[in-house]
Amino acid sequence: MANLWQRPLGAPEIGQIHFLTCKLSEKAVHIYKRPYKGGPMTYIKRELEDYLRYIFTKFPVVTVTGPRQSGKSTLVRHVFSEKKYVSCEDPDSQLFAKQDPRGFLHTHKNAVIDEAQKVPEIFSYIQTSVDETDQPGQFVLTGSSDFLLFEKITQSLAGRTAVLNLLPLSLHEIQQPSKKYEDYLFTGFYPRIYKMEIPPADFYPGYVKTYIERDVRALKNISDLAQFQLFLKLCAGRVGQLLNLSSLANECGISHTTAKAWISVLEASFIIFLLRPHHKNFNKRLVKMPKLYFYDTGLAAYLLDIQSANQVQTHYAKGTLFEDLIITEILKRRFNQGRPANCYFWRDKTGNEIDCLMEKGQSLFPIEIKSGRTVTPDYFKGIDYFLKIANQLAAKPCIVYGGESNQERTNAIVLSWNSLDKLEI
Half-sphere exposure of 329 (CA within 13 A, CB side): 26
Greater pLDDT, 349 or 239: 239
Phi first, then psi: give them for residue 376, nearest 5 degrees: -125, 160
Identify the sign of the CA torsion 270, 179, 318, 378.
positive
Q: What is the pLDDT of residue 20?
A: 33
- Round to whole Å and give the CA distance between 357 and 341: 11
Looking at the predicted structure, is the pLDDT value of residue 29 above 60?
A: no
Distances (CA, A) of 54 to 46, 51, 65, 73: 14, 5, 17, 18
Looking at the predicted structure, is the pLDDT value of residue 281 above 50?
A: yes
Stretch among 151-165, 213-227, 373-387 having the lowest mean pLDDT: 213-227
Looking at the predicted structure, is the pLDDT value of residue 74 above 60?
A: yes
Greater pLDDT, 322 or 149: 322
- CB atoms under 10 Å from CB of 391, counted, come to 8
Residue 17 confidence class, pLDDT cut points 50, 70, 90: very low
Q: What is the mean pLDDT of residues 44-67?
A: 96
- Round to whole Å and give the CA distance between 265 and 249: 15
Q: What is the pLDDT of residue 150?
A: 66
User: CB of 177 within 8 A of CB of 171?
Assistant: yes
For the chain, percent of residues with pLDDT exceeding 90: 71
Query: 49-165 adopts what CATH topology?
Result: Rossmann fold (3.40.50)
Greater pLDDT, 285 or 300: 300
Q: What is the pLDDT of residue 36?
A: 30
The helix (H) or strand (E) run that includes residue 163 is strand 161-165
- Round to whole Å and give the CA distance between 72 and 332: 14
Stretch among 8-22, 64-78, 200-214 having the lowest mean pLDDT: 8-22
Domain residue ranges of the chain, discontinuous segments joined by +? 3-43, 49-165, 175-274+292-323
Q: What is the mean pLDDT of residues 298-327?
A: 97
The pLDDT tens digits for 5-14 are 333 334 443 3
Q: What is the pLDDT of residue 144?
A: 82
Burial 321-333 (b: 16+ CB within 10 A, else e): bbbbbbbbbbbbb
Greater pLDDT, 57 or 216: 57
Residue 41 confidence class, pLDDT cut points 50, 70, 90: very low
